[in-house]
Amino acid sequence: MSDLSNKVILTLAPTGNVPTRQLTPHVPITPQEIAADAYACWKEGAAVVHIHTRDNEGNPTSDVDVNREVMAELDKYADCDMIRQVSTGGRAGKSFTERGQMLCLSPDMSSLATGSSNFPAKCNFNDPETISYLAAEMLKYNVKPEIEVFDTAMIWNAIRLAEKGEIKTPLHFNLVLGVAGSQPATVEALMYCYQNLPKDCTWGVSAIGKDHVKLSSIALALGGHVRVGIEDNIYFAKGVLATNVALVRRMKNIALAMGKEIATPAEARQILGLTPKK
């Protein structure tokens, strides 16, 4: 096995639930657009694609058929071995069964928020019943959770759930910084999360807002991985709309300048303990 300790996993979050075509023309909405953008970003070094789906009107949906369509579109890029991560986030479905309906497709990974917090105008609702249901579905379909940490209590709850056997270890965390209503995108918030992560975990950051580059760079320096994409930042710089490719390319170049190497999807699978792609 090659030395993986210096490798950085770049995750692409191309769409999310919030960005609309009115906000930015660069957000991919349809399954075809999402797959095409993922492929272009894979060529730039992204190893994981974090998938949100939209209905025909562009509204967030967890619909299993739309998710299946995205997977089929990704399959068309036969040379692309990107890791596929679906979202069970609370903005796209009401009940937990609705939110977890695509897990039966056995994607490599899925987001799992291990607690409730607030979005700017809505509750990020994840009560114990919801979390346990989604975690059990992930176990059933061999899907590795990415623990989405909107507030630090979610770290300790993930550790507790792992101790109870509801989530497999080693855990993988995504520290989400800068969602209005949850923990801020500050160095202090990042360090507090970092210092409280369990020893044997893997982790990355998803930094939203103007300090995205600064906080992502600190995560890289600490040995973390980084998520980029229009889901997290519609702006590349003040007044300049982002493209997914430009966001990935910039973070790749920062990582390379710091002496890091970019993990291929195969290497990211080893780092995350995923089964090799068939």
**Closer residue to Zn ion (CB): 7 or 15:** 15
Stretch that binds Zn ion, among 34-42, 79-87, 172-180, 203-211 (CB under 5 A): 79-87
The answer to whether residues 23 and 234 touch, using CB atoms and an 8 Å cutoff, is: yes
**Closer residue to Zn ion (CB): 78 or 121:** 121
Cα 12 to Cα 199: distance, rounded to the nearest angstrom: 25
Cα 15 to Cα 86: distance, rounded to the nearest angstrom: 12
Nearest to 208 by CA among 181, 238, 228: 228
**Closer residue to Zn ion (CB): 87 or 216:** 87
Stretch that binds Zn ion, among 39-47, 57-65, 67-75, 86-94 (CB under 5 A): 86-94
Cα 63 to Cα 104: distance, rounded to the nearest angstrom: 12
**Closer residue to Zn ion (CB): 17 or 217:** 17
| Buried b or exposed e, range 192-211, using 16+ CB within 10 angstroms | ebbeebeeebbbbbbbbeeb
Stretch that binds Zn ion, among 87-95, 136-144, 152-160, 239-247 (CB under 5 A): 87-95
CB of 248 to Zn ion, least distance (A): 16
The answer to whether residues 194 and 222 touch, using CB atoms and an 8 Å cutoff, is: yes
Stretch that binds Zn ion, among 73-81, 85-93, 133-141, 209-217 (CB under 5 A): 85-93
DSSP state of 58: S
**Closer residue to Zn ion (CB): 50 or 269:** 50
Q: List the alpha helices (DSSP H) in 100-243.
A: 128-140, 153-163, 187-195, 212-221
CB of 259 to Zn ion, least distance (A): 30
Select the residue whose beta carbon is closest to Zn ion and give its number. Answer: 87
CB of 78 to Zn ion, least distance (A): 26
| Number of helical (H) and strand (E) elements in the chain, helices listed first | 9, 16
Cα 243 to the chain's mean position, in Å? 17
**Closer residue to Zn ion (CB): 87 or 110:** 87
Q: List the alpha helices (DSSP H) in the chain.
A: 31-44, 64-75, 96-99, 128-140, 153-163, 187-195, 212-221, 244-257, 265-272
User: Apex CA 256: angle with CA 255 and CA 260, to 5°?
Assistant: 70
- Is 87 a binding residue for Zn ion by CB under 5 A? The answer is yes
**Closer residue to Zn ion (CB): 113 or 268:** 113
CB of 91 to Zn ion, least distance (A): 9
Stretch that binds Zn ion, among 59-67, 69-77, 84-92, 212-220 (CB under 5 A): 84-92
**Closer residue to Zn ion (CB): 87 or 217:** 87
- The residue count for binding Zn ion (CB under 5 A) is 1
CB of 176 to Zn ion, least distance (A): 9
CB of 243 to Zn ion, least distance (A): 18
CB of 147 to Zn ion, least distance (A): 13
The residues of the shown chain that bind Zn ion, judged by CB under 5 A, are 87
